[in-house]
């Protein structure tokens, strides 16, 4: 059962929190990129997370359809089957669904999971993210709480975000000119998130508090991360609700982040780090390397016929898959998840 059930997923997250490591959460856009993540996690003996955004789902459904729900379902069903061949747990997640897409993206996927659970199967996705960070906190939580109530009934975990992640990633909230004060979640907001989501008895959730995160890749020094904000929030939580109070925290915008800053966040409760831009680049770099090294063979130049074995899409997609796999393995190393699978 390498796609974990609810109890096992909770054990994964508790294990990461207790032992100060995190799971790479890899955005994928189809079978090839999903396979890269599965291969990397297995080779690292690391449990992990694979996630699909609205744009990733739309792309996966094909240019002739462009249906984000259909594409997300297709990717998830492939992973459910392929993950059975590996000896690590892989949770399935959706990334950055904003409030205006809840009815058109999240609800149909939750309905699909409700059907599966009623038939004695696992939910299609292990967890979903509702990104209300662009709204006032009350409006954000007013959308999140009913979703958490519904999802908890079928063994799903909700991820929420408060504070804005800068930059842009597949339609995610924020922009490169986001005011600096909006990039940092306050301890007061963290306590309020805990209070509101605590209204749903026994439900589980992850929280993406922002500490200067920016989507995309930037030159060193361009992004001002302040991981101490996460510690301040966790401390405020314990002061208000007692020593057992804690957040499973999520680090958005992990691509290009300084390794020392990543390391620091692990001590403050980060159990998931999103990696997308770096894996996009790694996949494309593998493809470009193949095409540039075999330029005369992948094109029919000066009346020649080229080399079918080298321009066969499987040849360059394999190169991209392996390059992406290698980058994900690096993320496992950075987050200290290597060798820590519950199945290892």
Q: Which residue do the tokens 């958490």 mark?
A: 148
Using CA atoms, how far apart are residues 242 and 135, in angstroms rounded to an integer? Answer: 29
pLDDT score for 316: 98
Angle formed by the axes of helices 187-197 and 228-241, nearest 10°: 50
- According to the model, what pLDDT value does residue 174 have? 46
For 309-313, what is the mean pLDDT?
A: 98
Q: Which domains does the chain have, with CATH numbers?
A: 6-334 (3.20.20.70)
What single DSSP character describes residue 26?
E
* H-helix segments, the chain: 6-19, 31-44, 54-60, 68-82, 107-118, 137-152, 187-197, 228-241, 259-266, 277-293, 295-298, 308-311, 313-334
Mean pLDDT of 127-143: 96
Active site residue: 47, 95, 278, 334, which one?
A: 95
pLDDT at 145: 98
The pLDDT confidence band at residue 171, using thresholds 50, 70 and 90, is: low
What would the pLDDT profile of 274-301 be if each residue is shown by its tens digit? 999 999 999 999 999 999 999 999 999 9
109 torsion bin: left (phi>0), alpha (psi -120 to 50), beta (else)? alpha
CA gap 54, 145 in Å, rounded: 21
Beta carbons of 137 and 119 less than 8 angstroms apart: no
What band does 343 get if pLDDT is binned at 50, 70 and 90? Answer: very high
Catalogue the long-range contacts made by 288-295 (C-beta closer than 8 Å, 24 or more residues apart): 289/319, 289/323, 290/315, 290/316, 290/319, 290/320, 291/316
Percent of the chain with pLDDT over 90: 86
- To the query of whether residue 276 is one of the catalytic residues in this protein, the response is no
Q: How far is CA 316 from CA 159, 186, 326, in A?
A: 35, 46, 16
pLDDT tens, position by position, 313-339: 999 999 999 999 999 999 999 999 999
Question: pLDDT digits over 215-253, tens only?
Answer: 665 555 555 789 999 999 999 999 999 999 999 999 998
CB 191 within 8 A of CB 205: no
Average pLDDT of the chain is: 93
């Amino acid at each position: 059962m390498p796609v974990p059930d609810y109890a096992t997923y909770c054990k994964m997250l508790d294990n990461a929190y207790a032992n100060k490591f995190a799971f790479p959460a890899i955005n994928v856009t189809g079978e090839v990129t999903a396979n890269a993540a599965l291969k990397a996690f297995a080779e690292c003996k690391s449990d992990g997370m694979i996630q699909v955004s609205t744009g990733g789902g739309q792309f996966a459904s094909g240019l002739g359809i462009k249906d984000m729900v259909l594409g997300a379902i297709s990717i998830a069903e492939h992973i459910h089957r392929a993950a059975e061949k590996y000896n690590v747990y892989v949770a399935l997640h959706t990334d950055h669904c904003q409030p205006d897409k809840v009815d058109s993206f999240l609800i149909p996927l939750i309905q699909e999971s409700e059907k599966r659970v009623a038939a004695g199967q696992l939910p299609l996705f292990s967890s979903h993210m509702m990104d209300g960070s662009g709204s006032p906190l009350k409006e954000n939580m007013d959308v999140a709480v009913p979703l958490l109530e519904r999802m908890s009934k079928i063994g799903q975990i909700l991820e929420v975000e408060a504070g804005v992640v800068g930059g842009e990633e597949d339609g995610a909230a924020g922009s490169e000119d986001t005011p600096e004060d909006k990039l940092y979640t306050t301890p007061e907001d963290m306590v309020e998130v805990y209070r509101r989501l605590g209204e749903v008895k026994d439900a589980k959730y992850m929280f993406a508090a922002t500490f200067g995160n920016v989507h995309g890749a930037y030159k060193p020094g361009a992004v001002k991360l302040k991981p101490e904000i996460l510690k301040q929030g966790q401390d405020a939580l314990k002061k208000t609700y007692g020593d057992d109070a804690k957040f499973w925290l999520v680090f958005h915008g992990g691509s290009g982040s300084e390794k020392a800053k990543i390391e620091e966040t692990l001590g403050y409760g980060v159990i998931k780090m999103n990696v997308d831009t770096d894996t996009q680049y790694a996949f494309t770099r593998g493809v470009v390397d193949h095409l540039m090294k075999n330029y005369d063979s992948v094109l029919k130049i000066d009346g020649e016929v080229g080399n079918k074995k080298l321009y066969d899409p499987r040849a360059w997609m394999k190169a991209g898959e392996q390059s992406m796999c290698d980058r994900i393995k690096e993320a496992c190393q950075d987050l200290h998840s290597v060798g820590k699978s519950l199945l290892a």
